[in-house]
Structure 1
Amino acid sequence: MEETKAFRWLLDVQPLWPASGGGQATQSTAHWAAGTAAQHALTFLTDGERARALRFYRPSDAKLSLGSNLLKHRAIANTCQVPWSKAVISEGAHKKPCYRPIAPSTKTLEFNVSHHGSLVALVGCLGESVKLGVDIVKMNWEKDHNTVMKDGFEAWANVYESVFSDQEIKDIAGFVPPTSGTDQDKIRAKLRHFYAHWCLKEAYVKMTGEALLASWLKDLEFRNVQVPLPASQMDASERNGGDWGQTCGVTEIWFYGKRVTDVKLEIQAFREDYMIATASSSKQIKLSDFEELDVERDVYPLQAQ
């Protein structure tokens, strides 16, 4: 039996599609969209996708929507070997984005997308036998640190009691960082542990196609959650270079009190502030390394398409 392979892409939209005159933080989305680079990129979306992107108040959010749709179209066109104009994004169960080929003989694609901060990630594989989920989290150190210092970490954890099981709340609130350091270092480590829990749960839920409002969220429990180190904290011998940090894949998954053994779940650190989790309904799938894409070279369609 041929091994199923999944590709993983990453796009940083922060440097893309700058508007003329002034910094992005001071611009409206309408002003940003009037820029030459943004106008060019927006032409590759459908009318509906373009309208949804331009509804965002902040250009940074509009850029994430634009980047997300561009990656979906490129993934469909590449994997299913159809022209860009035929790479139509549809919605499946629970409104999960999908590709529904017009001709029954056409190749199919399973994919999932996430965005946070300035990053957009997509994971995909040929066929429909494997379900995939991906999630990105970016830590907001200043905001989160101030909240924890004000209310304490137990109060912080209890805010999310509708998402996590009772045991997960205890694990998050009572987590003791494995290394010594300043009080601020310990809080940062505890926040990373919380965000690893969140990222893993989001990826799993997105794999199923449901949202964080799923009725069974508290019955899905992650144990022995390992937190990936950023590259700056890894031993020199373990670093692969660049912004990519450690990958962890030994988290235990429990659902309604029973161990789940047929799901592949891993989480990887990126730069200092990001973590990206990937979930697959098959442990036999091979996950590629994340490929950082260049929008001009790797994403935009050929004009002939």
Structure 2
Amino acid sequence: MDARETLGGPNGPRIVQWFIDTRPLWPVTKSNARDEVQQLKNVASRALSLLTEPEQTSVLKYYHLKDAKMSLVSHLLKHFIITKCSIPWSRSTISRDEKGKPCFKSGPDTDHVILDFNVSHQAGIVSLIAAIGFKGVSVGTDVVCVNERLQQDYAHISKYGFDDWVDVHADVLADSEVAFMKSAPIDDRYRGAETVIEKQLRRFYAIWCLREAYVKMTGDALLAPWLKELEILDVQSPAAKEGIDAVSLEEGEVIRQFANYFQGKAVTNVKTELTALGTQYMIAGSIRIPKEHKDSGVNLGKWQKLDLERDILCFAEASS
């Protein structure tokens, strides 16, 4: 589906949720890691040309090709969402707010732009969530891949146990979440996980993904002093779609109901969802809605997979 079909009219308020799989993009000749990244100058020249020189430099500084590709697509998505607010690509400048969150700072002739967006990337997948036309609405997203670190995770768990592995991450989790992960029963319906440990890991990464999306929505980093005061309780990971193969990124179960607490009080102005993507990925979206938009129909929808060539490159070249 064309990305333009999901955005409605050019001025209508909407929530946008996109992702791109960078893994098949820009194949290079096998070489050492740094040389593979530098090959992007040729194989990804069309995409790189759409970025500013500092952005190009930031992409090409990466040591691993997979990280450089995710960085490149992350930049493209941020420019792309700004152009959806009737801003030409050449003027889609990406800035940062006072907390360091990427943003578009409107000027005298672009004060019509009301936009908040956030990106995430993990194991080749890059996601973007945006709120267009909703003043005061903040958004965040995160992507996790359950099996990306499976070998390292299993090595630690085999030696020290699952509870010890959870404790390694306890500094950025609420005490109630740590206790839940160690003691709560595992849902037997999990697809995408076979063993008990795999199911425990999948639930851990589900909680991690939800927390990351929430924290990124606020604009604070994972070292924010209030991290342990945020609680996302009773989390079960969404099941992968039944019958899909290992390379599929088809959407599976979507879970929308979570018990969110901050400093012991229920959070009522944030909507959070977690979606299974293929057998190993999960993607989260979080929206903080001010009182004036409480009844405005601000809701999360489906994550849409974009086609880089059709949806972004052709559009950007026509817009520049």
TM-score normalised by length of structure 2? 0.85
Identity over aligned pairs, percent = 37
Provide structure 1 residue ranges, at least 5 long, that are not aligned to the other structure. Answer: 235-240
1:197 match? 207
2:303 match? 290
In structure 2, the CA distance between the partners of 1:93 and 1:233, relative to structure 1 (3 Å rule), is farther
Q: What secondary structure is seen at the aligned counterpart in 2 of 1:207?
A: helix
2:27 is equivalent to residue 22 of structure 1: no
2:226 is equivalent to residue 216 of structure 1: yes
Opposite residue 77 of structure 1, the aligned amino acid is T
Q: What secondary structure is seen at the aligned counterpart in 1 of 2:303?
A: strand
2:101 is equivalent to residue 96 of structure 1: yes
Q: CA RMSD in A?
A: 2.3
Cα offsets for 1:41-99 (capped at 9, x unmatched): 11111111111111110111000000000011011002x11110011111012110001
1:43 match? 49
2:63 is equivalent to residue 57 of structure 1: yes
Q: Which moved more, 1:184-193 or 1:69-78?
A: 184-193
In structure 2, the CA distance between the partners of 1:158 and 1:30, relative to structure 1 (3 Å rule), is closer
Opposite residue 256 of structure 2, the aligned amino acid is G
Cα offsets for 1:200-258 (capped at 9, x unmatched): 00000000000100000000011111210011379xxxxxx961110001110011111
**Contact 1:175–1:190 at 8 Å: present in 2 too?**
no
Opposite residue 252 of structure 1, the aligned amino acid is A
- How much does 1:104 deviate? 4.8
Moved over 3 A (4+): none
Q: What secondary structure is seen at the aligned counterpart in 2 of 1:28?
A: helix
2:272 is equivalent to residue 265 of structure 1: yes
Provide structure 2 residue ranges, at least 5 long, that are not aligned to the other structure. Answer: 1-11
Q: What secondary structure is seen at the aligned counterpart in 1 of 2:144?
A: strand
Opposite residue 303 of structure 2, the aligned amino acid is F
2:157 is equivalent to residue 152 of structure 1: no
Give runs of aligned pairs for residues 125-204 of structure 1, distance below 5 A. Answer: 125-127=131-133, 128-140=135-147, 141-179=150-188, 185-204=195-214
Counterpart Cα distance in 1 of 2:72 and 2:278: 23
- How much does 1:27 deviate? 5.9
2:281 match? 274
> Which of 250, 262, 265 is 1:255 aligned to?
262
**Contact 1:224–1:250 at 8 Å: present in 2 too?**
no
Counterpart Cα distance in 1 of 2:20 and 2:189: 35
**Contact 1:32–1:59 at 8 Å: present in 2 too?**
no
Counterpart Cα distance in 2 of 1:30 and 1:254: 43
Q: What secondary structure is seen at the aligned counterpart in 1 of 2:253?
A: strand
- How much does 1:166 deviate? 1.2
1:116 match? 122
In structure 2, the CA distance between the partners of 1:66 and 1:180, relative to structure 1 (3 Å rule), is closer
2:26 is equivalent to residue 13 of structure 1: no
**Contact 1:115–1:121 at 8 Å: present in 2 too?**
yes
Counterpart Cα distance in 2 of 1:113 and 1:242: 18
- How much does 1:275 deviate? 0.6
Cα offsets for 1:7-46 (capped at 9, x unmatched): 1011011111222x337x75634432243x3122111111
In structure 2, the CA distance between the partners of 1:304 and 1:6, relative to structure 1 (3 Å rule), is closer
Counterpart Cα distance in 1 of 2:278 and 2:302: 15
Counterpart Cα distance in 2 of 1:243 and 1:162: 34
- Aligned length in residues: 293
